[in-house]
Chains A and B, each alone.
Chain A
Amino acid sequence: MKTPLFGRIALYLAATVVVLLSVYPFLYAVTTSFKSGGALFEPTLWPSSWSLDNYISLFTLAEQPFGRHIFNSIMVSVLVVVISLFIGVTAAYALGRIQFKGRGLLLTTVLSVSMFPQVAVLAGMFELIRFLGIYNKALGLVLPYMIFTLPFTVWVLTTFMKQLPKELEEAAIMDGCSPWRIIKDVFMPLLWPALVSTGLLAFIAAWNEFLFALTFVLDNNERTVPVSISLISGASKYDIPWGNIMAASVLVTLPLIALVLIFQKKIVSGLTAGAVKG
């Protein structure tokens, strides 16, 4: 069926506006990061001359070891993903495939943990982290990050696990497989798409986290990138190195945008499995 010409024009106009609004700010950040000196303060999108100064100085600043911060963030996020997926799969197996009393209540409890405001546990977590001796260590952040990655991982993986056909498991049980082998050999291969999408979402959440990272790590070598960016500062309040900030922002964001665009479908299905089917 043909829609009237006017409707088509309005549609493309709306689409153009949406695309511009979504992409322009980041594009502006990218081009700003290549401006240096006086060019930084010209409010044009395209720099009059391109320069890598901001990127070079970002990595050579003595007081701000940005390379180290990127490394810390990668370590923390990868560990968070691996641990949440492992714990998530085992829990999802129990919640999704085994009938037992209290299952519904348990699922609701897990979900309610994801509604905790992070500050509600801040004081107790501070004490715990001090007690465990992981205060001021980047890797110590892996523990508190479980509070927001785990409930969500368990919830989404349970939803996926429930949808798998029963016959698969029954055949394996008949063959005398242990539950552990059933998970490893029967479910894991089928769960790959769900693991990729929940893993990516957990990675993004850990990569972006700010409050815990700001509070539990004060050592300048142990920081993660969001805190690092928020602390980039100049000699005075009126001398903020916007070029460096934009360069750092572009560096930590580009990999995320690439991941999100490559795995678009997987991420959307992970997000909606958590919400729409819930």
Chain B
Amino acid sequence: MNNKTRTAWLFLAPMLIVLLLVALWPLGRTIWFSFTDANINNLDAAKFIGFENYFGEYGLFANPNYTDGFWSSDWGTAIVNTLKFSVVSVTIETLMGLGVAMLLNQEFKGRAWVRAAVLVPWAIPTIVSAKMWGWMLHDQFGVINQWLVDWGLLAEKLAWTADPDFALWTVVAVDVWKTTPFMALLILAALQTLPKDCYEAAKVDGVHPLRVFWKVTLPLIKPALMVAVIFRLLDALRVFDLIYVLTSNNNSTISMSGFVRREMVDNGYMGYGSAASTALFLIIGLCTVAYIKLGRMKMAED
């Protein structure tokens, strides 16, 4: 090993040790727990039980007690909720983020103020935004119900966060409000790197603006857009706090992360919960790989 390489590893050591301690080791232990019957109150008594937590009698998958089928079990519902939430909210965020970014890319008076205002939802902690919206969407005293009834859009006030028909979509709406700024900022940064001259050329030639958008703008910002989408998608797939606080983690909105925490901490089934979290880890890993393959994106520049 030459001198340079030794220096490199020496300077990398603190990071490697910390990451080993907080990421790799706990991940490995969690996967190990998923093959045991560990209980949170007595981890030492954990026994190896193979794939019982996954495919056994009370396992996550192929459980004979699921009389109504897998997709109506709690775990199946958690998977469906998470996927619905992620796909719908990221799609809306991307479209709205694109819109806001295009708006901020225009030159107009007060643009700096608009950009500052857009940052506000992003700066608000998720728990605070959940509580804030929980209050505005309150079934009796919420300002939103009041408006909708006053304007004649609703006949009676709705329980936005409790009614199983609306709860998940309410969560999506609050998430969109909170994270559209992130999308908009990333897309805006990409828009600002675009060369100005080809837009002027297009204008002189009288090309329709929509055509310019499709043929020039979109292909040029596509790489940045892909990265922004994957960042948000990974974040959305592990959603926990928003749902936990806004809808109290009830069955109609529980996410995979929420399911894991409920089983692991509230019910104490560390082994079973670990199996669910390992499954979530694999699902997120698969989504990432599929997405990268799909977009043929380069993750590391080297």
Contacts and interface: CB of A to CB of B under 8 A. Distances in A.
B34 to A, nearest CB: 8
A87 B127 contact: no
B24 to A, nearest CB: 8
A23 B27 contact: no
Interface in A92-106: 93-95, 98-101, 103-104, 106
Interface in B21-44: 21-23, 25-30, 32-33, 38, 40, 43
Interface in A117-161: 117-128, 130, 143-144, 146-147, 150-151, 154
Contacts of B131: 229-230, 245-246, 249
Range for the number of chain B residues in contact with chain A: 35 or more
Contacts of B40: 126
A131 B146 CA distance: 52
Contacts of A98: 4-5, 7-8, 11
Contacts of B136: 25, 28
Given A18-B117, A147-B23, A271-B182, A29 B30 contact: no
Given A113-B19, A278-B299, A257 B123 contact: yes
B204 to A, nearest CB: 11
B151 interface: no
B238 A15 contact: no
B86 to A, nearest CB: 12
B122 interface: yes
Contact of A117 (B21, B25, B115, B238): B238
Contacts of B138: 242
Contacts of A122: 26, 30, 260-261, 264, 273, 277
Contact of B119 (A211, A246, A264, A276): A264
Interface in A224-240: 226-227, 229-230
Nearest to B103: A14
Nearest to B260: A119
B260 A32 contact: no
B207 to A, nearest CB: 15
B8 A94 contact: yes
A268 B281 contact: no
B113 A19 contact: yes
A32 to B, nearest CB: 7
Interface in B75-103: 100, 103
Nearest to B114: A15
Given A98-B7, A116-B23, A123-B270, A249 B128 contact: yes
A37 interface: no
B118 A121 contact: no
A150 B15 contact: yes
Range for the number of chain A residues in contact with chain B: 35 or more
B177 A90 contact: no
B26 A124 contact: yes
A119 B257 contact: yes
A29 B132 contact: yes
A229 B227 CA distance: 33
Interface in B107-158: 108, 110-111, 113-129, 131-133, 135-136, 138, 141-143, 146-147
Interface in B274-302: 274, 277-278, 280-281, 284, 288, 299-302
B22 A125 contact: yes
Nearest to B99: A14
Interface stretch (A52-60, A164-172, A202-210): A202-210
Contact of B185 (A116, A272, A277): A272
Given A99-B4, A108-B300, A116-B27, A253 B123 contact: yes
Given A12-B108, A257-B123, A18 B280 contact: no
Nearest to B106: A11
B302 A104 contact: yes
Contacts of A272: 185-186, 189
Nearest to B186: A275
B234 interface: yes
Contacts of B299: 108, 111, 278
Contacts of B147: 43
A19 B116 CA distance: 9
A271 B260 CA distance: 30
Nearest to A21: B177
Contacts of A101: 5
Contact of B8 (A21, A100, A125, A264): A100
Contact of B12 (A18, A95, A242, A268): A95
B108 A118 contact: no
Closest 3 CB pairs of A and B: A124-B26, A124-B29, A117-B238
12 contacts: A23-B120, A26-B124, A90-B14, A90-B15, A91-B12, A91-B14, A94-B8, A100-B9, A120-B27, A123-B29, A124-B32, A246-B131
